[in-house]
Amino acid sequence: MNNPILLSNSWYFKPQFCQEDLSHFDADADCGGWQKVNLPHTVKELPFNCFSHDETAMISSYRKDFTIPAEAAGKRIILRFDGVMAYYDLYCNGIRIGDHRGGYSISFADITDAVRFGEVNHLFLKVDSTERNDIPPFGYIVDFLTYGGIYRDVFLYTTEQTYISNVLVRYRLEEDWSLTIYPEVFFHSYEAVHHEAAVRFRLIRQDGTTVFTHTASCSISEGESSLQTSPVSVGAVELWDIDSPVLYTLETELLIDGHAADSHSTKTGFRKTECTSHGFYLNGRKIKLRGANRHQCYPYVGYAMGRGVQRKDAEIIRYEMACNTVRTSHYMQSQYFLDRCDEIGLLVFEEIPGWHYIGGEVYQNVVMNDVKMMITMDYNHPSIFIWGVRLNESNDCPELYTRTNELAKRLDPDRATTGVRYFKGSELKEDVYAINDFCHKGPKREDVLQSQRQVTGLDHDVPYLVSEFCGHVYPCKPWDNENVREEHARMHARVQSRAACTDNIMGALAWCAFDYQTHGDYGSGDKICYHGVMDMFRMPKFASYLYRSQKDPDEEIVLETTSVFSRGEKGDNKVAPVIIMTNCDFIEVELYGNSIGRFYPSNNYVGLPHPPIEISTHDSFWIEVWQGAVITGFIGARKVAERRFVRDAKLTTLEAMADQTELSSEYADDTRVTLRFLDQEGNLLPYYPGIIQVACHGDIELRGPEIFPSMGGMSAFWIRTTAAGRPGTASVTIRTLNSDLPDQTIEFRIVSWE
Ligand code: GAL
């Protein structure tokens, strides 16, 4: 299977299901309550917060008309759904094809027998986005929302009657780091004849040069079969690493009677990962995993964000949070996200959907399918170093978890497995004991992390990972008082520092990267968990700068303060304590026009590559004339950064920046525009309550409301191309309704990437 057609444009959606729609193809789609939509799609847009958590729970319908050329007669027509929440029943031309349980797993549907070649065909999906207790993570209460609809892309493959359904690029790195490869190829044949065939492999470097070719014979019978090729030596290759994420493409051709019957192409990378009781090793080098958990939701549209935005999240975690690891909590995530993790060297802990509850037989069958689809679909991603094969924070369930772990090991003997616990002494069937350790609840230093043996109850060390910390024990909003935002950053600093200093902890993954929407059982009462080091718009809180400042200064100099040096915010008319998150060697601080000295990285966070700098005492009295502050960062004797804070800070600018200004005309391409209200020195004004209005011009549309407030002095909005197929330009106009700031316009180029 290769070169699928993206089938995500021009669907029709109805937020109900009517039996007669199944056979009522010729109805004018604009009638009968159908809305024209593009995928990814959500069944209902939600407000930012304060909505009912049931609003997206419904049975809805999707329709799509498409033509298969007459010349394709005799071929197989296969659909691939990357994500439909949470259950669908699929019909083609009124004929039922099948159903699928699970909102996060990729699914395939062979519709050949129902297709009319050379004619218009009618697809129909009845989609159930209620929280059914036969599908994980549902069954009890869950601390996140799952939304609903066809929220990822749909693809259409046209293949011969015998085709390659998948290729797992199995390999090993020898002691001299040379590569030995033994891909496993999976076939599906609808032909009664038995084929003596061959597969031809070609391994291609990023620059397009072929580094290796190999042909192996195989025999293919009707139904599903596979070929496990024998190991062959490729020789020296460039390894995939977090600092140099080198990728290769493996092309596989199926030759029947000497003719190419099918082909398959996959990107992959070669690296050695080891999860040990004394840490994590990548290609023999010990790396402390410093990362965050990611929920894949966005304001208004829930999960329904496309390629560009998924890729951007990986970039934010890697570059704006300087993390080396992400956990796809608590489910499989977009291929676009994983592809980008491969490209930029962000290690991934991927896990199956689940949250506390374990259901009955049907439910557990879905769990097993989730394990199978997660591993077979995502096997070739070099960034994935571990599979999570337990439902997050569920109780021990020896029978189920023996099966999930064994299945994972059968499909992928080389990658480590784990499962995330919240309680002590859990039975360990997987390779790595992962614990959500929320013991650190504030500045009491001794409670930073529990000891491994205290948690496992074992008398020896095992591979051990802190899979979550902080989260609900210290929520933080971008508009909270500085003290709260600062303590939030300090908590992350303490835990990451402790994890870094503790040899038998592979690393620590923050709960979490981004704020997320939730059920009424959790969060701040407005359906949001403010647990992110960034907000839901992916705008930074102080804590995210703690992460960002861990970068090598050669990559970026970071100097951020947890204060705007106003003396009325912290209480007691003091500007301190304050922490400066920086990768500078030291800073010089000027207050009231006078230098108050040099400050160096704190000894309280020695595990971090760049501990923050703490200024703990400095009194300033109410009666003195306030003069603002200047912070200057140095590397060696070189001045490399400066931040100025003025006495008379006032609203000066609305900074508006698009993540991407070139968008596709061919599919619904999303991108974000970030907004920050700044003073005359470029400092954020976190308490400025801007009312923003956005207008779109050209073939783009807004995803969310036209008028919205800033929160914490920041906001963002997403736009999407209408997939009109017309290259051209488009723009957004941004106005602040309650200020004199001038309107701004951002231009976008809409191009054809075909
Ligand atoms: C954990 C759970 C997460 C999230 C977090 C909040 O126990 O695994 O999904 O709810 O708590 O801090």
DSSP state of 182: -
Instruction: For ligand 1, atom 9, name the residue with the nearest CA.
Output: 143
CA distance 322 to 238: 24
Residue identified by tokens 């508006």 is 656
Look at residue 148 in the predicted model and tell me its pLDDT.
98
Q: Which residues are tagged catalytic? A: 393, 468
- 626 pLDDT tier (thresholds 50, 70, 90): confident
pLDDT of residue 591: 80
DSSP 270-318: ---EEEETTEEEETTEEE-EEEEE----BTTTBT---HHHHHHHHHIII
- Tell me which residue of 146, 64, 148 sits closest to 109, measured CA to CA: 64
Residue 237: pLDDT above 80? yes
Best residue among 328, 439, 472 to mutate for probing ligand 1, ranked by most atoms within 8 Å of CB:
472
- Residue whose Cα lies nearest atom 10 of ligand 1: it is 143
pLDDT tier at 616, thresholds 50, 70, 90: confident
Pocket of ligand 1 from Cβ distances under 6 Å? 143, 330, 392-393, 422, 436, 468, 471-472, 511, 531
Encoded amino acid at 72, one letter? A
The model's confidence at residue 31, banded by pLDDT at 50, 70 and 90, is low
Q: What is the pLDDT of residue 564?
A: 83
- State the pLDDT at residue 105: 98
Q: What is the position in ligand 1's atom list of the atom closest to the CA of 522?
A: 10
User: What's the whole-model pTM score?
Assistant: 0.98
Contact assessment for residue 20 and residue 283, using Cβ atoms and an 8 Å cutoff: no
Q: Taking the C-alpha atoms of 632, 637, 640 and 642 in order, what is their torsion angle to the nearest 10 degrees?
A: 10
Ligand 1 centroid to residue 657 C-alpha, Å: 32
The DSSP element (H or E) to which 95 belongs, if any, is strand 95-101
Taking residues 562-575, report their average pLDDT: 81
Mean pLDDT throughout 208-237? 97
How far, in Å, from the CA of 423 to the mean position of ligand 1?
13
Q: How far is CA 235 from CA 181, 240, 333, in A?
A: 10, 15, 33
Handedness of CA 373, 375, 380, 383 (dihedral sign): positive
Q: How far is the CA of 419 from the centre of ligand 1 (A)?
A: 14
Given CA atoms 198, 203, 209, 211 in this order, what sign does their dihedral have? negative
Mean pLDDT score of the chain: 96
Q: Which residue's CA is minimally distant from atom 3 of ligand 1?
A: 143
31 touches 63 (CB < 8 A): no
What are the backbone angles phi and psi of residue 70, rounded to the nearest 5°?
A: -60, -35
Cα(354)–Cα(356) distance, rounded to whole angstroms? 7
pLDDT tens profile 296-331: 999 999 999 999 999 999 999 999 999 999 999 999
Kindly state the average pLDDT of the residues 498-522: 98
Give the residue-averaged pLDDT of 214-228.
97
Token pair of 373, please?
């689809």
234 touches 183 (CB < 8 A): no
User: Cα(316)–Cα(31) distance, rounded to whole angstroms?
Assistant: 42
Residue 738: strand, helix, or coil:
coil
d(CA 335, CA 342): 10
